[in-house]
Amino acid sequence: MSKQNISFYESVNLNFDKASKLVDLPKGLLEQIKVCNAVYQMKFPVKVGNQIKVIEAYRVQHSHHRLPTKGGIRYSTHVDQDEVMALAALMTYKCAIVDVPFGGAKGGVKINPTKFTERQLESITRRYTTELVRKNFIGPGIDVPAPDYGTGPREMAWILDTYNTFKNGEIDSAGCVTGKPVNQNGINGRNEATGRGVYYGIREVLSYEKDMREIGLDPGTAGKTMVIQGLGNVGSFAGLISQEEGDIKVIAVSEFEGAIYSEKGLNVQKLIKFRKNTGSIIGFPGSVSLPNRDVALELECDILVPAALENVITKENAPRIKAKIIAEAANGPIAYEAEDILLKKGIIIIPDMYVNAGGVTVSYFEWLKNLSHTRFGRIEKRFNQNTYTNLVGLIEKMTGKVISEREKLILTKGADEIDLVRSGLEETMVEAYNQIRLVAKRKKKVQDLRTAAFINALNKVGNDYLNLGVFP
């Protein structure tokens, strides 16, 4: 295969090969880590109006070094076996990087969800789930799906309900899928999780003064400029949180209908509302339309956030990229052939398998919640609140200072579920980046964060096989 036609899966494996030369693991073990353990391709009939349509779908379990396996389900006309295998492999490495104890998996249904009614999508989702149940490819201790491109809480609720039809009485059945609605055994903070994780990852990279000076940036998020490609769930939350909590200025947004720009910055919250009302970002007040949607990728900015699909930055447009940092909010947005071009330009690439790991991290929290059968904060919230109240009262007594009721409410608040979820996600993203950066700084032959992340992941997965007796 020529380099012009490198597939997504091959691209993942080429990055794997690059890192595998820098780890001290047996060759046979590396080969076991690299391959997909189980690939299930299915075709099933679904009635759509007066017609019967045959739906093509997949579920891939990449690695069984930890169980259950974990990975989202995407609905897209681009779904094929190669893509699902690539995404499943990335999930293995992603889970290892953020210390989430799952093997990697992924699912895909080859449809355009906008071309089907809600009832038709429900039929497709339920039939897909039925196929997974029949082949033992789903379960809280086997394989746990989640939302991905084209799916969301609604589809996850259908999956859970279908699973319960077959597994009536299974006490931990709610853990068979994550990303569910909060009122149906979901968790607060899951919807924003991937985008929030992107922000935490960017913030952590920007916190290192020495690293930032090398690319001509001051440390810290405040005042940095950002371009977002893709205003779906991940891109919208990444932009919104970066703007509100990091004081980052979003100067351009690209979507399938076009791209807009504003030197003064775009209000992401208002832009999301505008697009919901009009169906387009074009015409947003205070913005100008760019000639085409791809131009946004090439704008001068501090941070570029590709948050849609894979291979949007190629060897053709890579020489024109002017960002100082690229945060891969999507899976595989940088083609393998483009990476060296970007690195030679001095661009810092924050790899997808780290920076978009917020979703699987909070999915892990949801899975734990389902298995424990209690929401986060239920046991300790009031105890902590009472402890803080007593402490504030003691401070007032000792100092003679009267603390206002508003200040008391802030100081004595016990953590709600979403507070604990955000705290856990922040800790995960900070610790994971520190591990990756340490590898990048200590290994002489490592010139980029992706290779460092792969090395970290391979060592963790390899140690599981060797130390836990999983490898025969």
Q: Where are the beta strands (DSSP E) in 110-248?
A: 143-147, 225-229
106 is catalytic: yes
Q: Are 148 and 72 in contact (CB under 8 A)?
A: yes
Total Cβ atoms within 10 A of residue 131: 18
Q: Where are the beta strands (DSSP E) in 148-229?
A: 225-229
- How far apart CA 192 and CA 239 sit, in angstroms, is 11
Burial of 264 (0-12, 13-18, 19+ CB in 10 A): exposed
**H runs (alpha helix) in 169-260:** 193-206, 209-214, 233-246
- How far apart CA 190 and CA 55 sit, in angstroms, is 29
| DSSP letter, residue 400 | -
Give the residue among 176, 154, 156 at the shortest CA–CA distance from 166: 176
Identify the active-site residue in 18, 70, 94, 106: 106
Q: In Å, what is the CA distance from 451 to each residue of 8, 142, 445, 448?
A: 17, 30, 10, 6
- What are the residue numbers of the active site? 106
